[in-house]
């Protein structure tokens, strides 16, 4: 299972990769913003996306919208500091399948990933 992680913070990408490896997902590709994420996605093989919202170049919401124009079914999990109800609804309307507010625990990430893949 190849997972694409899109986040402009190298620390956050590292934390997510570390958490994923602890729960058994080691095949990971990374992008530092939406545009880089789309490039990685175009290379193929990605089966799930974990994306941040606030990023330079192309933010997470624009990225999700762009992904959904070409792939309606790939599971997308948004992991962000944006925690207002209107933000969460906006992300869901854009095509996000589930939503995690930072800071998260490994258990939360595991639960969300498993529910998306299950």
Question: Which of 1/100 has CB closer to another protein?
Answer: 100
Question: Which of 7/37 has CB closer to another protein?
Answer: 7
Q: Among 1, 12, 28, 116, which residue sits at the site for another protein (rule: CB under 8 A)? A: 12
Write each residue from 74 to 103 as x if it is in contact with another protein (CB under 8 A), else as -, in one continuous string.
-------xxxxx-xxx--x-----xxxxxx
Binding residues for another protein, rule CB under 8 A, total 31
Q: Which residues, 6+ apart, have CB-to-CB distance to 53 below 8 Å?
A: 59, 60, 61, 78, 80, 81, 82, 87, 91
Cα separation values, 8 from 33, 35, 82, 97, Å: 6, 11, 15, 21
- Work out whether 65 is an interface residue with another protein (CB under 8 A): no
Q: Which residues, 6+ apart, have CB-to-CB distance to 8 below 8 Å?
A: 32, 33, 52, 54, 55, 56
Shortest distance (Å) from residue 95 CB to another protein: 12
Distance CA 84, CA 39 (A): 30
Q: Among 27, 43, 45, 54, which residue sits at the site for another protein (rule: CB under 8 A)? A: 54
Distance CA 114, CA 82 (A): 22
- Work out whether 117 is an interface residue with another protein (CB under 8 A): no
Residues in contact with another protein by the rule CB under 8 A: 7-12, 14-15, 18-19, 22, 54, 56, 81-85, 87-89, 92, 98-106
């Amino acid at each position: 299972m190849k997972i694409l992680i899109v986040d402009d913070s190298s620390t956050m990408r590292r934390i997510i990769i570390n958490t994923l490896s602890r729960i058994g997902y080691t095949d990971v590709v990374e992008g530092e913003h939406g545009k880089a994420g789309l490039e990685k996605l175009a290379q193929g093989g990605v089966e799930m996306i974990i994306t941040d919202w606030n990023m330079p170049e192309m933010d997470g919401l624009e990225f999700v919208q762009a992904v959904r124009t070409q792939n309606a079914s790939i599971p997308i999990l948004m992991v962000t500091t944006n925690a207002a109800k209107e933000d969460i609804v906006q992300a869901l309307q854009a095509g996000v399948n589930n939503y995690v507010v930072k800071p998260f625990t490994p258990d939360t990430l595991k639960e969300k990933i498993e529910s998306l893949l299950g």
